[in-house]
Chains A and B, each alone.
Chain A
Amino acid sequence: MDHLLHSTQLAQLAFPEAVPAITLAHYLFVSAAMFVMGLIGFLTRKNMIIMFLCTELMFQAAGLALIAFGRHHLGADGQTFVIFVLCVAAAEAAMALALVVLLFRHKETLSAQAWKELNG
Chain B
Amino acid sequence: MDTIISPIALYLICVLGALGVAAALPRRNKSLEITGGLVFASAVGLAVLVLGLKATDSGQPLPNYFFYPFAILALGASVRMITHPRPVYSALYFILTIIASCGMYLLLSAEFMAFALVIIYAGAILITYLFVIMLATQAPSSASAQFIDETDAVAREPVISCVIGFALLAILTTAMFRGVSDLPAASHPELAQDSVLLNLPAKVERILDRAGQLEAGERLARNEDGTAAIDIAARTITIENTDLHTTRTLQSDQWPDKLAAGNLDRLGYNLMHDHPMTIEIAGIILLMAMLGAVVLARKHIELEEDLKAAQARKLGDSMSGGNA
A77 to B172, CA, bound (A): 23
Interface hits, B255-310 → A, CB 8 Å: 260-263, 266-267, 269-271, 274-275, 278, 282, 285-286, 288-290, 292-294, 296-297, 299
A71 to B107, CA, bound (A): 10
Please indicate the chain B residues that have their CB under 8 angstroms from the CB of A7 in the complex: 189-191, 193-194, 232
Contact of B177 among A25, A43, A76 (CB under 8 A): A25
Contacts A34-B78, A50-B87, A102-B296 given: A21-B151 contact, CB under 8 Å?
no
Can you name 10 extra interface pairs (CB under 8 A) apart from A14-B260, A57-B78?
A: A21-B56, A22-B107, A27-B108, A32-B172, A37-B165, A40-B82, A44-B161, A49-B136, A75-B270, A111-B151
Contact in complex: A36, B165 (CB < 8 Å): yes
B286 closest partner in A (C-beta)? A91
Interface hits, A91-105 → B, CB 8 Å: 91-95, 97-102, 104-105
Contact in complex: B120, A90 (CB < 8 Å): yes
Please indicate the chain B residues that have their CB under 8 angstroms from the CB of A105 in the complex: 299
Contact in complex: B132, A76 (CB < 8 Å): no
Q: How many contacts A-B (CB < 8 Å)?
A: 299
Which A residues lie at the B interface, using CB under 8 A?
2-4, 6-8, 10-11, 13-17, 19-30, 32-34, 36-41, 43-47, 49-50, 52-54, 56-57, 60, 63-64, 67-68, 70-80, 82-84, 86-95, 97-102, 104-105, 109-111, 113
Contact in complex: A98, B173 (CB < 8 Å): no
Among the listed stretches B28-36, B91-99, B139-147, B206-214, which one makes contact with chain A, having 4 or more residues with CB under 8 Å of it?
B91-99
Contact in complex: B270, A76 (CB < 8 Å): yes
Contacts A7-B189, A41-B81, A91-B285 given: A21-B62 contact, CB under 8 Å?
yes
Among the listed stretches B63-71, B219-227, B237-245, which one makes contact with chain A, having 4 or more residues with CB under 8 Å of it?
B63-71
Whole-angstrom distance between the Cβ of A31 and the nearest chain B Cβ: 9
Contact of B94 among A53, A91, A92, A97 (CB under 8 A): A53
Contact in complex: B293, A33 (CB < 8 Å): no
Contact in complex: A93, B168 (CB < 8 Å): no
Whole-angstrom distance between the Cβ of B59 and the nearest chain A Cβ: 7
Which B residues lie at the A interface, using CB under 8 A?
17, 21, 25, 47, 51, 54-56, 58-64, 67, 71, 74-75, 78-79, 81-82, 87, 90-91, 94, 97-98, 101, 104-105, 107-110, 112-113, 116-117, 120-121, 124-125, 128-129, 132-133, 135-137, 149-152, 154-158, 161-162, 164-166, 168-169, 172-173, 176-177, 180, 183, 186-194, 197, 232-233, 235, 260-263, 266-267, 269-271, 274-275, 278, 282, 285-286, 288-290, 292-294, 296-297, 299
Contact in complex: A47, B270 (CB < 8 Å): no
A15 closest partner in B (C-beta)? B109
Contact in complex: A6, B232 (CB < 8 Å): yes
- Interface class of chain B by DSSP: helix
Contacts A7-B190, A26-B51 given: A89-B125 contact, CB under 8 Å?
yes
Please indicate the chain B residues that have their CB under 8 angstroms from the CB of A97 in the complex: 128-129, 132, 293, 297
A43 to B167, CA, bound (A): 14
Contact in complex: A67, B288 (CB < 8 Å): no
Whole-angstrom distance between the Cβ of A1 and the nearest chain B Cβ: 11
A91 to B285, CA, bound (A): 7
Contact in complex: A75, B285 (CB < 8 Å): no
Whole-angstrom distance between the Cβ of B196 and the nearest chain A Cβ: 8
Contacts A68-B108, A83-B271, A87-B286 given: A25-B180 contact, CB under 8 Å?
yes
Please indicate the chain A residues that have their CB under 8 angstroms from the CB of B154 in the complex: 46
Contact of B113 among A19, A77, A79, A94 (CB under 8 A): A79
Give 11 CB contacts A-B under 8 Å: A7-B189, A14-B261, A15-B263, A21-B63, A34-B75, A41-B81, A56-B121, A57-B82, A90-B286, A97-B132, A113-B156
